[in-house]
Structure 1
Amino acid sequence: MTIASGKQKSAQYTASMAQAPIPQEQRSGLSRQLVTSELLDTATALFAKKGYESTTLLDIAKALGISRPGLYNYVSSKEELLIMLVEQVSQGLAEVLEQLTARADLSPTQKLRDVVALLVRQRTQHPDQFRILDRSETVLPEPVGSEHREAKRKILREVMAVIETGIERGEFRPVDARTAALSLLGMCNWVAWWFSRGSDVEETVATVTDLAQNMLVRPGAPGPEAETTRTVEEIRTLLDRLAPRR
């Protein structure tokens, strides 16, 4: 998809949405999704501040400005919040990465840049979600604990596949794919721990993406500028797919 065609489709879609009324059921679904997203961000911020065990559902309800019975419309326990985090942070990300790495129209170098940009952007926009889930891995209830671990393994496999293909095609230096993939994921995940709110997200994304490319791409290999450029809006569209599924 070219930038021009993407913008044209976006404009056409926006115009059609402006003309056509949104069904009540769809409005309700969008509203619930927005509230659930805010709920996760609020809850994880409290978990980070007070600790998971010390935070109550009443604390979360007060922070959201709703009653505790109102909160039960979205979640019934703190464990359910952890389940929602797994669905969004690990399972959702694994599914999006699988779709991205399967694209035949992108070279390994561009896939590498897109994967890193997606990971870093998610970590900068929702750092508390990643940090709390990372800290809570050992207390996740089953079967969600096993699902989370499998999603992490899937993410590793997808990144390894990109690196292995890049090596086979001569774009990447011959390195151990698993070690390189773990190093890339560690670099991206660590952003959630040091990124400061209010800092420039785009600058951070660009810097880490360039570092990842420089780490793997063989000198003299074609750069992403020789390919169809993907826009920031496309990356954000991928992130939108990680919305909570409640």
Structure 2
Amino acid sequence: MKTVDRAARRRMSSTERRQQIVTRAAGLFDQSGYSNTTMDDIARDVGVAKPTLYHYFPSKDDILHAIHGEFIDLLIERHEARTETGLRPEQLLLEVMADILELMETHRGHVRVFFEHHRELPPEARGPIKEKRDRYERIVEDLIAAGIESGVFRAADAHLAALATFGMCNWAYQWYRPGGRLRSRELAYQFWNYLVYGLGTDQLTLPTPRATPPA
């Protein structure tokens, strides 16, 4: 088996090798934490010599940057692929939520790294990643604003609603485990339902906001 593995590794292109390193490293960061994982650990897990690993990624920070970039690019690319399908804003919002939650199953390590280790990014990488993060946040905010404009959502603060959407989805990986009662897409439907319809019934009486006392 090891001979077969070595032969398969030798046939890998540079792009495939880089992808393998990123994927394996994301898994290690998820299991052991970013700070506790060394380049030696990554080289051992991938099955390459340490100098070979450094050929593809000069440092662990560069791998971290690649994981962040791959994750946010996946989210943006999935959304952009749907923009010409004719889906309504509320349907696109559901798919956005499903994207984030489904990646908990397919890219769990990427999810943890993206949400927990952005502060460890090298300074030169923070700007480009932040731009992509901000772009994706605007995508979701614009979807909600479009829903408000079309009348399917009630008048609300679109920016705050977008933050609430991310708040529901982004940290679900902390407790979600594949094979549980709900699959990730089913969870997306539940979250979308809470966001769009809320928990209240017709019998619910909203509390009257208390006036803020003058300073």
TM-score, normalised by the number of residues in structure 2: 0.75
Aligned residue in 2 for 1:207: 187
- 1:194 is matched with which residue: 167, 175, 186? 175
Alpha-carbon displacement from aligned partner over 1:118-146 (angstroms, at most 9, x marks no partner): 12111332122221232222221132111
Gaps of 5+ in 2: 1-9, 199-215
Gaps of 5+ in 1: 1-27, 219-246
Alpha-carbon displacement from aligned partner over 1:16-61 (angstroms, at most 9, x marks no partner): xxxxxxxxxxxx9985444433322321232234432332211111
- 2:45 is matched with which residue: 63, 86, 92? 63
Higher relative contact order (CA 8 A, sep 6+): 1
Sequence identity, in percent? 28
Aligned residue in 2 for 1:38: 20
Larger radius of gyration: 2
Structure 1 residue 160, shift from structure 2 partner: 0.8
Q: How does 1:110-121 map to 2 (within 5 A)?
A: 110-121=91-102
The question of whether the paired residues in 1 share the 8 Å contact of 2:68 and 2:114 is answered with yes
Distance 1:29 1:173 in 2: 56
RMSD between superposed Cα atoms in Å: 2.8
Q: Which amino acid aligns with 1:206?
A: E
Q: How does 1:127-142 map to 2 (within 5 A)?
A: 127-142=108-123
Aligned residues: 189
Aligned residue in 2 for 1:54: 36
The question of whether the paired residues in 2 share the 8 Å contact of 1:45 and 1:128 is answered with yes
TM-score, normalised by the number of residues in structure 1: 0.66
2:34 counterpart SS class: coil
Q: Which amino acid aligns with 2:192?
A: A
- The answer to whether residue 136 in structure 2 is matched with residue 155 in structure 1 is yes
1:54 counterpart SS class: coil
Structure 1 residue 93, shift from structure 2 partner: 2.4
